[in-house]
Amino acid sequence: MTKLSVNINKVATLRNARGGNVPDLLQVAKDLESFGAQGITVHPRPDERHIRYQDTRDLAQIVSTEFNVEGNPNQKFIDLVLETKPDQVTLVPDAVDAITSNAGWDTIKNLDFLKDVIAIFKEQGIRTSIFVDPVVAMVEGAKKTGTDRIELYTEAYALGYMDNKEKVIAPYIESALAANDLGLGINAGHDLSLLNIEFFKNSIPQLLEVSIGHALISEALYHGFETVIARYLQKLAD
């Protein structure tokens, strides 16, 4: 079964909008796990506009499933990961002013940098993943960095799903097959939803994990976390 990791950035955004601690981020993480989520993902950014660095520290103490920390590996981020030692760190090349992640790594141009960063994390026993576009050359470049996994950036798939899902899934299948041949694990994330997740999961060979935040939180506004988590798990089941 493909694992479901829930990105709780948007919960933090809601909390921060009013100050205080409502909703309680730690309690939400616990509840999501109790409803069946197999991981919790956070993506702290330098301005801490949603997930704060202290949130990451606090969550590291209470997440009982898999804890995945995403971000651009500047020194502050590297220090945070080494302090909290999550199960997985996902490297994302987002700009400081990016609203959300909008591109994968150029693993060829950034090969030396990524190799150095990944070596730091792997020395501490932290599994690594690199955010990449569905381009075989980028997958091949990721292999050279020493990473354990890639995370396929799925915005293009989500945007084109309704018009021609067979066309937009094709580069993802090609990239996944390349990753399989190279011995890289495959994660995926960005704009996956209840609408498009089942076709993606059934099309991608050996898809290990999806990270879903914005859509899942939005769907839960209508149906509740427990119902939405159950629906995702059903669609991700083998």
Catalytic residues: 43, 70, 190
Task: Give residue 80's Cα distance to chain centre.
Answer: 17
Cα–Cα distance list, 83 to 5, 57, 144, 171 (Å): 21, 8, 26, 37
Separation of alpha carbons 21 and 147, rounded Å: 36
Nearest to 149 by CA among 190, 107, 201: 107
Q: Which residues contact 32 (CB under 8 A, 6 or more apart)?
A: 6, 8, 40, 225, 229
Cα–Cα distance list, 85 to 116, 132, 183, 190 (Å): 17, 23, 24, 24
- Token pair, residue 77, equals 């981020």
CB atoms within 10 A of CB 158: 18
Separation of alpha carbons 167 and 175, rounded Å: 14
147, 119 in Cβ contact below 8 A? no
